[in-house]
Amino acid sequence: MAVLMDGKKLAEKLCSEVAEAAGKLARRPCLAAVLVGTDPASQIYVRNKERDCQKCGIDSRRYDRDEAVSEAELLSLIADLNADDTVDGILVQLPLPEHICERNVINAIDPDKDVDAFHPINVGKMVTGQAHLLPCTPAGIMEMLREYGISPDGKHCVIVGRSNIVGRPMGMLMLNADATVTYCHRRTRDLAALTRMADILIVAAGCPRLITGDMVRSGAVVIDVAMNRDSETGRFFGDVCFDEVEPKAAFITPVPGGVGPMTRAQLMRNILEASRSRQS
Ligand code: GUN
């Protein structure tokens, strides 16, 4: 029987800490959230982030743009938000429509306002251990490990997935915390042989039920980042077969209620941090 890592409860604690700290600033922190198009999932994500801001004493402004907005128009909006002294954080919800180059848009955000920590300057600072804004999902996972007394020092951390948002930065934070890191991805041969070596297994592949019970070593810490949705029942489930893996693991995150709320809480911490450093 594994210990369930309760991301929802920990995220609530972190959000109340953000609210308290935000209340002490001379000016309320402010997030500008940019949403292009009408993708239903993106709309829910942005609405949830606005709600989180409200709970944390952070102002949020929403900039909705039509699916057909040009890249130049979007870059001009970002330039305006960069220049706006009342805006502390800028978040452009991804994915963007195909005619817009995501890289150009991310690179246009002022790194000091880049609360997703996607800008190459912030990626470089994270890799070299000098970041003040950390990528939300990996940093949320590090916080959860700390809360449950799990030290990465000397452990073998195996990461499945190499996305810029989760897998890659996750490995860097783990390396900075003195773990030995192995990256796996869709071209990895004999995935199971590697996942079985993990003391800490972090799965962010977006492949429903990829990790079965036989792929996990007894006593491992298993972190499931995925949010897959069953189209029939509408229920969410992860990349890990929870029913098979939970009896073997020492610690495991539920889906939902594990990593997701921690990602959202870390975004609030980043907005607070960006605002603090801009107000000091
Ligand atoms: N789309 C999926 N995840 C994210 C995220 O963390 N930030 C942004 N801006 N868009 C996303």
Enumerate the H helices of the chain as residue ranges: 7-23, 40-55, 71-83, 102-108, 120-127, 136-147, 167-176, 191-195, 242-245, 259-279
What percent of the chain is predicted at pLDDT more than 90? 98
Query: Of 247, 192, 190, 243, whose CA–CA distance to 218 is shortest?
Result: 247
- State the pLDDT confidence band at 38, using cuts at 50, 70 and 90: very high
Top mutation candidate among 42, 91, 94, 269 for ligand 1, by most atoms within 8 Å of CB: 94
Q: Is 49 an active-site residue?
A: yes
Q: Note whether 236 and 255 are within 8 A (CB).
A: yes
266 lines ligand 1 (CB under 6 A): no
Average pLDDT over residues 137-144: 98
In the block, tokens 């993106």 appear at: 42
d(CA 249, CA 245): 6
pLDDT, tens digit, 9 for 90 and up, residues 48-87? 999 999 999 999 999 999 999 999 999 999 999 999 999 9
Q: Is 214 an active-site residue?
A: no
pLDDT, tens digit, 9 for 90 and up, residues 159-205? 999 999 999 999 999 999 999 999 999 999 999 999 999 999 999 99
For ligand 1, the distance from its centroid to the CA atom of residue 247, given in whole angstroms, is: 32
For ligand 1, the distance from its centroid to the CA atom of residue 248, given in whole angstroms, is: 32
For ligand 1, the distance from its centroid to the CA atom of residue 136, given in whole angstroms, is: 9
Q: What integer pLDDT is reported at residue 239 of this predicted model?
A: 98
Is the pTM above the cut of 0.75? Answer: yes
Q: Note whether 228 and 238 are within 8 A (CB).
A: yes
Average pLDDT over residues 15-34: 98
Q: What integer pLDDT is reported at residue 184 of this predicted model?
A: 98
Strand partners, 91: 33
For ligand 1, the distance from its centroid to the CA atom of residue 95, given in whole angstroms, is: 7
Specify the pairing of strand 221-224 against strand 200-203: parallel
Provide the 3-class DSSP secondary structure of residue 160. strand
93 lines ligand 1 (CB under 6 A): yes
91 lines ligand 1 (CB under 6 A): yes
Q: What integer pLDDT is reported at residue 268 of this predicted model?
A: 98
Active-site residue (options: 112, 114, 116, 224)? 116
Query: Of 262, 224, 257, 230, whose CA–CA distance to 242 is shortest?
Result: 224
Question: Is the bond into 40 cis (omega within 30 degrees of 0)?
Answer: no
Active-site residue (options: 49, 113, 155, 248)? 49
